[in-house]
Structure 1
Amino acid sequence: MAAEVVEQPFIWRKETRDHPDHKHCRCYKDVTGDHGRPKLLDGVEPVTLQKSTYYSRVSSEYNQQKRVVREGRRIVKKGFRILRQECLAANRLYQDPEFPPNNYSINFSGVTRRTYVWKRPHEIVQDPCFFVDGATRFDIQQGELGDCWLLAAVANLTLHPQRFHSVVPRDQSFKHLYAGIFHFRFWQYGTWQDIVIDDMLPTYNGRLIFMHSKTKNEFWCALLEKAYAKMYGGYEALRGGNINESMVDMTGGVVEMIDLRAPPPNLFNILQKASLRGSLIGCAIEPDHPGIRSESVLENGLIVRHAYSVTRVTTVDIANARPRLQTQKDITPLIKPHLQGAFDDIIDSISRVASNLGLTERPPSSMSHIPRTLAPLTNWNLNMAFPEGKAELLRLHNPWGNEAEWQGAWSDSSPEWASIAPEDRTRLRLTFDDDGEFWMSFQDFRNNFSTVEICDVTPELGNDDDNGSPAKEVECERHWDVVMYEGAWVSQHSAGGCRNFIDTFASNPQYVVEVTNTDDDNECIVVVSLMQKNIRQLKRYGADYVPIGFTIYKLPQDRQPGVKLDVDFFRYNASFAKCPYFLNTREVTTRFQFPRGIYVVIPSTFEPEMTGEFLIRIFKEARRC
C-alpha cells in the first residue's frame, strides 16, 4: 500500500499509513541522509545494512544472557572501596583496565585529529580538588565534545544536592584516601550502576579537552563525564543526544515531553509546579528549515538543536511599576551598547538639524530626558503585556556557560528589570554576567522553543483538572504503583512490527495490566514508558535508535488474562489506546486515563524484523484511603 508522506516543518518527516482499525500509526524518521539527500521512508536502508551485524549480535547476546541466568552463573566485580583499599595497601594509583588511556577510549576508530596526552589531575595543577566551594551549575564548562544534552542535565542536577550526591558520592577526594580511583552512580534500565574509573584525563597542551570546571583545580565535572563515557563505551558515544536520556540516567525517573507547537492551556502552571517539586526540566529548539545546522546561533541569541536547562519558573509583580530611572548613570547598565549608540545617533541627528535651521543647539551629551521617557514607556508596555500585573518568567541555563544568551525582553541588559521592585530583585538573586544563564518571559519561551521535557522520579500526580482549576479534595493518599518488564524483539521470533503489519503483529511481546483502583465515576491515570536498551553502548558498531512505540488493547470479559492474543484478535478488534507516534528515540512516554478493566500493552518497533532489547515501565495511580 502506498505511503502518504506529510511534510513537517522540523527535521522529522511524518509517514502515515492506513491503519486496520481506522486509526493511524505515525512514524517519525530523520529526513536527511548522506550529503543532505532525503532517506527513503519505505526502504529502511540503515536497518537492512545492520541486519547481519547488529541484529544477529543482539539476538545472540539475548540468548546468551538467558543461558547465564538458567545456569546460575554470575560475574562478580570488585567494588570501589575494595579496589581503593587494595591500591592504598600496595601504595599505587589505580589504573582502569576497562577504560584504558588511549585513543580508542576517545574515538571509535582510534584515530584522532590531534595527539592527546592522558594526565592525572596532580600532573595538570598543583592543588587538585574534587570540589571547590561545592558544586554549582556555573562550574560546568563544555569542551570539544558535543554533549550539551549531558551538561544541561548535570547543571539541573546541581540544584538538588541530595540527588546530586546520589550520582556523585561524597566518599572520594584528592586529600583523604586518594588512590587515583573515583566512582559515580547512574541509573541504567531499571537498576543503579556504580561506575569506577581512574583519574587519568585526556589533555592537549596541558589543558583538559572535554568537560571541565571553570575553576582550574576542580575536577568533579571532568571525572563525572569520564564515568558517563565509560558506561556508554567511549567519549564519542556521547556525541549528540537528547536531554531526556541524561535526565533519566541521573534520576531513574520518567520524562514526559510537551510539544510547544500545541501546548496545554495551563502550561505555565505545569512548569511552575514541576520546578517547585524539584523536577529536572530541559528544552530545545528544532529549526523551521532542514538546512539549518545544529548549534547555529539565531539573531535573538538562542541556539538551534541545543539543550538548555530550565532552572527556575516564577512570577514578578509589575502592578505597581513606577518610573525609577532618573539619570544617564542609572540607565547605562540596563541598555545594550548598540541601543545606547542608537540614542546617541538620534541626538546627534537632531542636533545637526537644529544647527542647520539656525536653532540653538542642545549639547548631545545632555540625555537626561531619555531615561525619564524610557522608564514610563517600559512600564506602560509591561502593563499592557501583563494586564494582571504579574510577569511570568523562566530562568534558563546554556551549558556553554558563556555570553551566548537570549537577547530579547528580560535578558541581562533589558530595561524591563528597571520596573520590578527591589524585593523581587533580591528574591530572584539577579546577576547579569556572561555565564550562560538568562531570563525570558513565558510568552517568549513558548514562541521560541519547540519542546520542553519534564523529568520526575515518578510521574506527576497533579491536583488540577483539565481546565487548570483546583480539583476537589481527596481524602486518600495518592501514589504510584510501578511495574517493569524487560524484553527483546528477536528476529523471526518476537519482532513483529506495528499494527500496520497485521500478520506478524501478534508475535510481539504482550504484557497484562489490571486497573482496579478507581472510583465508580472516575478513571485511573496510567503512564506507559518504553525504552530501547543498550543502543548508545553499541554506537561504535553502527547501532542506532529505531522507531518504537506501543499499542494497548482492553481485554474482553470472555478472554482469559495471560493467554497470548493471536492474529485473529487483532484483525477484528480495535485498539483501546496507543502512543501518538513511533519515534526513533531512546524512550517514548504517554499518559492515559483508563476505566476499570484488564489491558494488554504491546511494545513494538515500527517495521518488522527491527530487533533489540527494551524496558517497559507502567505507572498506575493508586489511592489508599
Structure 2
Amino acid sequence: MKATGSLDRIERASSVSSDTSSSTSSSSSSSSDEKDPLLSATIVPKRRSSSLAEDHPDDNADEVEYLYEQDFFTLRAECLKAKKLFEDPEFPPDNDLLRKRSARHFDDLEWLRPHEFVRPDEPILVSDRNEGFDIRVGLDSWFVPAMGAVAESEALLNQVVPQDQGFTAKESYAGIFHFRFWFGRWIEIVVDDRLPIKNGTPLYMKSACVEEFWPALLEKAYAKAKGSYELLNHWMPIDGCIELTGGVPERVRDLPDLLSMDARHADRLFFDLLRASQLGNVILATTAIKTRQTRLCLAEAGQLGLHVKYAYRVTRVAYLGEGQQLIRVKNCSGPLHVNWIGAWHPTDTRWANVSEDIKKELETETYQDGGFWMAYGDFLKYFKTVDICHLNHEVDQDITFHGRWEVGLNAGGVQKGDFKNYSKNPQCFIRLNDCDPSDPDGRCSAVISLMQRREPKSRAKGLNQVGFKVYRVEDHCEELSTQFFAYRRNDGFHKCVAKTPTWQDGRESNIRVRLSPGKYCIIPSTFFPDREGDFILRVHIERYSRETADELMKRPLHAIESVE
C-alpha cells in the first residue's frame, strides 16, 4: 500500500494496510525487527487461533511507502532521460506555503536551487565535516533536537537521508531528493531542491557549512508531510524524535517531585537514563510552563544559565561513584555559548577531585557544542519532563502491533464490570525473559507505547480516549475469555499488573513496566465501547543479556534497593 495523501494519511497512527485488516478477519498484525524465540507476539481480537510473530512475520514491516505515490527512482530516471530538473507539482514554490510570520520577507524572497546561489563552491548534500546547522532566531524549532540527534549519528542520518543522491552528475543529480520519516510506517517523501532564499541564504533551516543542504531539504520534506511550512509549527520535540527515528517514546513527568520522594525512585530514573545514554537513545528534557507556582524556580534556573524556553537534549550521563551523579545537557535550539554557573559548571572546584583520565573521558574541556555538565539533583529540580526515544539497535528489541477497533468485532471498551465486552478487545501477548541485573527483585523492564490516529485540526488530541492494561498469564494461554476477567483468586493471575494511569484522548500514551519473567497479555482499548479507530501498540523490551562487558562495567549493578 502507498500513502496517497498529506498529513491525515501519514500521521504516526496510520491505519494498517488492506492485507492485514478487514471486517471479516483479524484487525491487527504484529512485526518485530528480529526473530527471537524468547519473545512471542500474538494478537487476538476475538475468538481466533493465535500465532507467533516469529512464525508469521510481517513481510511488509520494513517496506517503504511513498507519499503521493511519488517514487524517487522512477521520477529521477524520467528527469534524466528528458534532460530536465524535477519540479514537484505536490509542493510548488509558493509563498503561501511559507510561515505566516515570513510575509514581511516576501518582497525580497526567491525560490532558487542551491547551485543558483552557492558561489564559488558547489553545493553538497552531506558534508564530511558535520559542522551542525543553524536556525533563524524566533522561528519555531521543536524538531531541532531531533535534527541534532540525526546529525550526530551516521546510522540515523543515512536512514533519514539516503546516500543514493547528491548534486553531482556522478550522483545522478536531477533536482530531486528523497527523505524518510516514520508516521506509523516508514514513508518516503520526495522534494525538488527549490528553496526559499533571502539575500543568498535559506530563509529557514540551514547548515553551518554554507555548501551543505540536507537540513534545508529535510525541513522542506517535513513541511510537505505536514502540508506547509506554517503547519510545521508548534509540535512537541518528542514528535520530531519519533518521526525522524522511528523510536519508541517514554515520558517521565514531574521530575521535581522525585526530590521529595524516597531517593531510590530518583536513583532508578538515573540508571535508566545512564543505560539509555550508553545505548545511543535520544533523551530530551524540558522545563515547566511558567505559572505562579513555577515562576520562582524558572527564574532561579535562568539566573544559573538555563534558557528555560528551549528544549535540551541529554548527551551524556555519568556516575562517578560516592553518590556523584552527573548529566550533560545541550541546548539544541538556542545560543551555543555555555552560561551555566550551577554545580559542576566548567570552572567549578568540584572538578579538582576528579582524575584527569575521567575528565578526559567526560570531555570536560569541550563546550563548543553548547553542552555542559550539571548535578543530577539540579537536573531534577529545574527540568519538569524528560522524554526518551528508544531506538532500534542490536541490544534491545522492539515489537509492533498494528490494529483497529471495530464496532461489532473488538471495540469492547473498558467499563467497570463489563467483562463480556472487555474480553473482545485486541489481545497482544509478549514474553519477558531478560532480567535487569541492577534490579534486586530480578524483574524485566519494558516500555509500552500506544498510539492512535490524530483528531483532525488538532496536534495533540486523538480520536478516542485510549489506554491499556497488562495481565500476567500462564505459558499455555493463547486467549483471555470473559471468565478470566470475572474470576478472582489470589494466584498472581487474573488481575492487572500494570496499566496506563488514565484513558485519555492524547495521540500517544506510554508507561515503563518492571515485571517478573513470564508471559503477559496487553489489552489496548478505548474507554467507551463501540468506538472505532486505528492504533499502533509498540513494546520496547530491554535485553540486558546482549549488553557488552564494557557497557555493564560502566553501570553499577545491584545499585538500587527494591522500591515499588
> Given the two structures, how large is their TM-score scaled by the length of structure 2?
0.67
Give the deviation of 1:615 after TM superposition: 0.5
CA contact (8 A) 1:147 1:241 kept: no
Give the deviation of 1:224 after TM superposition: 1.5
Work out the CA distance in 2 between the residues paired with 1:417 and 1:522: 36
CA contact (8 A) 1:530 1:603 kept: no
2:313 to 299, 309, 312: 309
1:186 to 181, 184, 194: 181
Give the deviation of 1:393 after TM superposition: 4.4
Q: CA separation of 1:219/1:624 partners in 2, compared to 1, >3 Å: closer, same or farther? A: closer
The alignment status of 1:589 with 2:510, answered yes or no, reads yes
Aligned equivalent of 1:269: 271
1:165 to 118, 141, 158: 158
SS at match of 2:537: strand
Work out the CA distance in 2 between the residues paired with 1:67 and 1:391: 47
Work out the CA distance in 1 between the residues paired with 2:442 and 2:357: 44
CA contact (8 A) 2:249 2:449 kept: no
2:303 to 282, 299, 307: 299
1:282 to 274, 281, 284: 284
SS at match of 2:219: helix
Give the deviation of 1:526 after TM superposition: 6.1
Gaps of 5+ in 1: 1-53, 317-385, 462-478
CA contact (8 A) 1:131 1:220 kept: yes
Give the deviation of 1:542 after TM superposition: 7.7
Aligned equivalent of 1:123: 116
Give the deviation of 1:121 after TM superposition: 1.9
SS at match of 1:430: coil
SS at match of 1:98: coil
> Pairwise mapping of residues 41-120 of structure 1 onto structure 2 (< 5 A)?
77=69, 79-103=71-95, 105-106=97-98, 115=106, 117-120=110-113
> Pairwise mapping of residues 147-158 of structure 1 onto structure 2 (< 5 A)?
147-148=141-142, 150-158=143-151
Cα deviations by residue, 1:303-360 (Å, 9 ceiling, x for unpaired): 44632111222367xxxxxxxxxxxxxxxxxxxxxxxxxxxxxxxxxxxxxxxxxxxx
Aligned equivalent of 1:513: 429
1:577 to 480, 498, 504: 498
CA contact (8 A) 2:283 2:315 kept: yes
Aligned equivalent of 1:439: 373
Instruction: Give, as a single letter, the amino acid of the residue that structure 2 aligns with 1:506.
Output: Y
1:616 to 518, 523, 537: 537
> Pairwise mapping of residues 549-588 of structure 1 onto structure 2 (< 5 A)?
549-554=467-472, 561-562=478-479, 565=482, 569=486, 574-582=495-503, 584-588=505-509
Aligned equivalent of 2:262: none
Give the deviation of 1:578 after TM superposition: 1.0
1:247 to 241, 244, 256: 241
Q: CA separation of 1:106/1:401 partners in 2, compared to 1, >3 Å: closer, same or farther? A: same
Work out the CA distance in 1 between the residues paired with 2:101 and 2:399: 41
Work out the CA distance in 2 between the residues paired with 1:595 and 1:416: 40
Give the deviation of 1:208 after TM superposition: 2.5
Higher Rg: 1
Aligned equivalent of 2:523: 602
Aligned equivalent of 2:210: 216
CA contact (8 A) 1:286 1:449 kept: yes
Work out the CA distance in 1 between the residues paired with 2:410 and 2:367: 56
Give the deviation of 1:89 after TM superposition: 2.1
> Pairwise mapping of residues 350-499 of structure 1 onto structure 2 (< 5 A)?
388=322, 392-403=326-337, 405-411=339-345, 426-427=360-361, 428=363, 430-433=365-368, 436-458=370-392, 480=397, 482-490=398-406, 497-499=413-415
Q: CA separation of 1:542/1:577 partners in 2, compared to 1, >3 Å: closer, same or farther? A: closer
Work out the CA distance in 1 between the residues paired with 2:496 and 2:383: 33
CA contact (8 A) 2:467 2:503 kept: yes
Give the % identical residues: 31
Work out the CA distance in 2 between the residues paired with 1:484 and 1:532: 11
Work out the CA distance in 1 between the residues paired with 2:423 and 2:276: 39
Instruction: Give, as a single letter, the amino acid of the residue that structure 1 aligns with 2:387.
Output: E
Q: CA separation of 1:264/1:393 partners in 2, compared to 1, >3 Å: closer, same or farther? A: closer
Q: CA separation of 1:276/1:540 partners in 2, compared to 1, >3 Å: closer, same or farther? A: same
SS at match of 1:228: helix
Aligned equivalent of 1:199: 193
CA contact (8 A) 1:502 1:570 kept: no
CA contact (8 A) 1:242 1:307 kept: no
Instruction: Give, as a single letter, the amino acid of the residue that structure 2 aligns with 1:82.
Output: T
Give the deviation of 1:460 after TM superposition: 11
CA contact (8 A) 1:255 1:456 kept: yes
Give the deviation of 1:152 after TM superposition: 0.5
Work out the CA distance in 1 between the residues paired with 2:417 and 2:292: 30
Work out the CA distance in 2 between the residues paired with 1:243 and 1:491: 34
Give the deviation of 1:64 after TM superposition: 9.8
SS at match of 1:101: coil
Work out the CA distance in 2 between the residues paired with 1:204 and 1:438: 34
| Length, aligned pairs only | 468
CA contact (8 A) 1:515 1:524 kept: no
CA contact (8 A) 2:460 2:506 kept: no
- RMSD over aligned CA atoms reads 4.7
Work out the CA distance in 2 between the residues paired with 1:242 and 1:508: 34
Work out the CA distance in 2 between the residues paired with 1:123 and 1:609: 57
CA contact (8 A) 1:309 1:398 kept: yes
CA contact (8 A) 1:156 1:281 kept: no
CA contact (8 A) 1:485 1:617 kept: yes
Give the deviation of 1:437 after TM superposition: 2.9
Work out the CA distance in 2 between the residues paired with 1:68 and 1:512: 15
SS at match of 2:378: helix
Give the deviation of 1:247 after TM superposition: 2.4
Aligned equivalent of 2:55: none
Give the deviation of 1:513 after TM superposition: 1.2
Aligned equivalent of 1:531: 450
Give the deviation of 1:212 after TM superposition: 1.6
Give the deviation of 1:611 after TM superposition: 4.9
CA contact (8 A) 2:485 2:495 kept: no
SS at match of 2:266: coil
Cα deviations by residue, 1:506-543 (Å, 9 ceiling, x for unpaired): 28732141548589x987736353332453xx755788
Work out the CA distance in 2 between the residues paired with 1:145 and 1:393: 28
Aligned equivalent of 2:39: none
Q: CA separation of 1:541/1:152 partners in 2, compared to 1, >3 Å: closer, same or farther? A: closer
CA contact (8 A) 1:300 1:406 kept: yes
SS at match of 1:92: coil
Give the deviation of 1:603 after TM superposition: 1.4
CA contact (8 A) 1:142 1:211 kept: yes
Q: CA separation of 1:63/1:517 partners in 2, compared to 1, >3 Å: closer, same or farther? A: closer
